[in-house]
Amino acid sequence: MSDRTNITDIAEMAHAPAYNDDAANTGETRTLQIFRGDGEGGSLVPYEIELIEGMVVLDAVLKIQAEQAGDLAVRWNCKAAHCGSCSAEINGKPKLLCKSRVEEYDGQEIKVMPLQAFPVVKDLVSDVSWNYGVSAQIQPFNPGKEQAPFTMYEEDVERLYEPKKCIECFMCQDVCHVLRTHHKHPEFAGPRFFVRTQWLEMHPMDENNRLQFLKEGRGGVQYCNITKCCSEVCPVDIHITDNSIIPLKERVADEYYDPAKWLMRKIRGNRRNGSANGNGGTRASHKRAEIRTNG
């Protein structure tokens, strides 16, 4: 035994210090309205639960699942706002359920619905597989002949950290009216993938050119009329409109509407924007992964 410790009761030491769960019970109850149903339809069903101190809406949903409705479908993984799985809508606004404290809604109803820009699977789960299909159509990172380790300085890459924070919760996709209201899914990639395209385009070692994808391909960046709805809901505070979409729109405008560039393109074909060592309009071939969410 060390001089600090004097454990006389070994068995006692082997038991983890008990937390007092009861102390966290507030003694209050709260009712949540949760969508129960599937793609065919459904309704909001009220569930009353005991309120626990600091509880987030995901805690409440999981408590309901364990105690009242075993088959209540909800998607979640990390419960720490790192993975972006538990996105749904609370009172009509996209939210990470793991990051939304119940007490934020004091004095209001809490209505939890699945993301609305995608087909509903069941209860709080939407079919977001469309996003993975779009992702597979973006040309991946391509450093050409350069071999890592790369020499890149902090000032070369610091603007890439922000778009790389994306946790793929798809809430920006959910709130974007081009998708949500106008259902342009076949010809518009959505904010999430402008964020991805931005870091790829701005990566100092990347040699691919994705401007054609943005303008003529299924990127469809011109559909965005910069209402900034996406930026407002981003749980990791990416300034999607200002830092991703507008710079991409500017690049597209430069490439397609600058008369000198237009002429050059006619003569020499597409080249990497601003790069002298582009590959003359050839596009790195890449195969598309097949994504399935069901058999």
Nearer to another protein by C-beta: 63 or 261?
63
The residue with tokens 């074909």 is: 269
Scan for tokens 């569930």, then name that residue. Answer: 47
Instruction: Restricting to residues 43-72, name those near another protein by CB under 8 A.
Output: 52-56, 58-59, 65-67, 70-72
Nearer to another protein, 81 or 110 (CB): 81
Q: Which one, 98 or 214, has the nearer CB to another protein?
A: 98
Binding piece for another protein, criterion CB under 8 A, among 80-88, 171-179, 223-231, 269-277 = 80-88
Question: Distance (Å, rounded) from C-alpha 43 to C-alpha 39?
Answer: 11
- Span 90-109, contacts to another protein by CB under 8 A: 99, 101
- From 136, 212, 228, 261, residue interacting with another protein (rule: CB under 8 A): 136
Residues 202-241 within binding reach of another protein (CB under 8 A): 203, 206, 236
Give me the residues paired with residue 50 across strands: 29
Helical (H) or strand (E) element with 41: strand 41-52
Pairwise CA distance, residues 244 & 145, whole Å: 27
Region binding another protein by CB under 8 A among candidate stretches 212-220, 221-229, 267-275, 284-292: 284-292
**Site mask for another protein (CB under 8 A), range 245-274, x = bound:** ------------------------------
Please tell me the distance from the alpha carbon of residue 38 to that of residue 70, in angstroms, as a whole number. 16
Buried b (16+ CB within 10 A) or exposed e, 43-68: eebebebebbeebbbbbbbbbbbeee
Residue 32, strand partner residues: 47
Min dist CB 279 to another protein, Å, is 17
Q: How far is the CB of 268 from another protein (least distance, A)?
A: 27
132 in contact with another protein (CB under 8 A): yes
Answer for which of 32, 34, 51, 74 binds another protein (CB under 8 A) is 74
3-state secondary structure of 42: strand
Classify residue 79 as exposed, middle or buried by CB count within 10 Å of its CB (0-12, 13-18, 19+).
middle
* Number of shown-chain residues binding another protein (CB under 8 A): 91
Q: How far is the CB of 76 from another protein (least distance, A)?
A: 7
Question: With b meaning 16 or more CB within 10 Å and e meaning fewer, what string describes 1-16?
Answer: eeeeeeeeeeeeeeee
Q: Which listed residue (117, 125, 172, 245) binds another protein by CB under 8 A?
A: 125
- Closest to 88 measured CA to CA, from 31, 35, 165: 35
Q: CA-to-CA distance for 254 and 240, rounded, in angstroms?
A: 20
CB of 271 to another protein, least distance (A): 21
In angstroms, what is the minimal distance from the CB of 133 to another protein?
9
Among residues 7, 226, 253, 263, the one that binds another protein under rule CB under 8 A: 7
Query: Could you say which of 48, 91, 109, 141 contacts another protein (CB under 8 A)?
Result: 141
Interaction between residue 11 and another protein (CB under 8 A)? yes
